[in-house]
Amino acid sequence: MLWCAWRWPLWRSSFFYLDNIASSVRVSDLQLPTLHTSLVEACQILDLDVPELYVRQNPVPNAYTFAMRGKRPFIVIHTSLLELLTPGETQAVIAHELGHLKCDHSVYLTLANLLTLAASQLPLGEVLAQNLQSQMMEWVRCAEFTCDRAALLVAQDPRTVASLLMKLAGGSSCLVNELNVDAFLDQARSYDAISNDALGDALKQIRTQGLTHPVPVLRAREIDRWASSQDYYALVKNPPVQYNEDSSKGGWRNW
């Protein structure tokens, strides 16, 4: 998930950053060095400056990135998420968060929010603003697919990404040894089958229209498909080398 503070008052952004330092453990080569190595490796693959990484005690499995204008972004991972995942899956989560930075999603999200706010001031602005808000949420969900692809570029194993999505959907420390990625992908195909008629499509739209993330089975299916595409093989064989100097100044999102 992305927490974007581009329009926040300075005091609010500073308070959030201070609270994070006060209540989390900052990862470095001296503190949780295994996690730090995973972060650095993922940044090298995605060609990004290394942001700060924190581990925070929280019973809700989650990870997010916080971006402040002109400040170094930082990633936070909850302890409960680390307890669910393997080291490879954890690095994929980190890479997903880095994907938001690489794509400058925070810049586009801020622009969309400003456009929605401006539209609300026009005649019939409420209807226009609601339409823009709906389209913005669709874009936000599509951005998550992009970040899942960043996770795959780092993990280079679609089963790793699918496995962590499965664990987020229904995993716990007492269940992980019995979870099956192939069965989860079969479940995704069952989800697709619901779209055989107009009612199925409508039900899916109602289910997802207010969500910031696509449903987990859909994300797993999409990453499995992309892993077999020529686009993916081209990127793995010839990784991009052009570096966006501003990419570390944006921020982004929540698993």
Collapsing DSSP states into helix, strand and coil, what is residue 2?
A: strand
Q: Is 66:16 a contact under the CB 8 Å cutoff?
A: yes
**Pairing, β 2-4 against β 24-26:** unpaired
The CA-atom distances, in angstroms, between 222 and each of 19, 162, 214 are 36, 9, 10
What pairs with residue 63 in β-bridges?
77
CA distance 85 to 176: 9
Collapsing DSSP states into helix, strand and coil, what is residue 72?
A: coil
Gyration radius from the chain CA atoms: 19
Report which of 163, 215, 173, 211 is spatially closest to residue 194, judged by C-alpha positions: 215
Identified catalytic residue from 89, 97, 144, 222: 97
Q: Residue 250 gets which letter from DSSP?
A: S
Q: In 26-176, which residue ranges form alpha helices assigned H by DSSP? A: 33-46, 79-84, 87-102, 105-119, 125-155, 158-170
Residue 41 known to be catalytic: no
CA distance 153 to 156: 5
**Hey, which residues are catalytic here?**
97
